[in-house]
Amino acid sequence: MSTIHHLQLPLSETQVRSLSAGDLVYLSGELIMTAGLPTHQRMLDYVERNEALPIDLSGQVLLQFGGYQHEVDDRMEVVYINPTTSTRFNPFMPRLIRSLRLRAVGGKGGLDAASARAMQEQGCVYLSFPGGGCTLYSNAIREVVAVAWKDLLLHYRLTKLRVENLGPGTVGIDAAGNSLYDQIEASAAQRMPEILAALKAARKEAP
């Protein structure tokens, strides 16, 4: 049975390792989001040069979220946010998780085995957010704290938000290496012969 956690950011390694795949999470505090492949590449470039990022991600939560943002009187206003597909960022995530000591990453669609190993080593979880939860997530925004890399498209910029009860997010991959995505894939593979046999029988019975 899943447990519901209302977590205050930043997270400790002990808190993160207490979460189990399938648990539901609501986040309050400051976190960082971006939806950009160029942004992830730039973050990795900074890491490889051992250069400080303009927004400190060390031990933080990084969400792969996009949305609609605009500038009002030289200030960034985030109107709505929604998760983007995390699998696009697989090539970047193992190094970023380890180097930045990320405590949680999130989006939709999960991450690969290499990222899961990095999470297990570091004490990090993957949070899965349903794509249809835009209104819930957007209502959790309290303040835009900082924005970096303004040469990029608005939703590609590195954006720090203060949120209150952002969620629900499901722990899709926990810090012990348990993955809901792997479990679903294994279940589907196990059922495949039965499904194919049923389809074959149905074709034979069709007029």
pLDDT tens string, the chain, 207 residues long: the values are 679 999 999 999 999 999 999 999 999 999 999 999 999 999 999 999 999 999 999 999 999 999 887 777 777 788 889 999 999 999 999 999 999 999 999 999 999 999 999 999 999 999 999 988 889 999 999 999 999 998 998 889 999 999 999 999 999 999 999 998 766 666 666 777 777 767 777 777 776
pLDDT computed for residue 29 by the predictor: 98
The domain locations on the chain are: 4-179
Angle at which helices 93-100 and 113-122 cross, to 10°? 10
pLDDT of residue 207: 67
Query: Under 8 Å CB-to-CB from 122, ≥6 apart: which residues?
Result: 97, 98, 101, 102, 175
Give the whole-angstrom CA distance, residue 24 versus residue 29.
17
- pLDDT for position 76: 76
pLDDT reported for residue 68? 81
Q: Class assignment of domain 4-179?
A: alpha beta
Rounded Cα–Cα distance for residues 127 and 107 (Å): 7
Q: Write the DSSP assignment of 39-64 as a string of letters.
A: HHHHHHHHHHTT---SS--TT-EEE-
Cβ partners under 8 Å of residue 31, min gap 6: 9, 60, 61, 62, 63, 160, 161, 163, 166
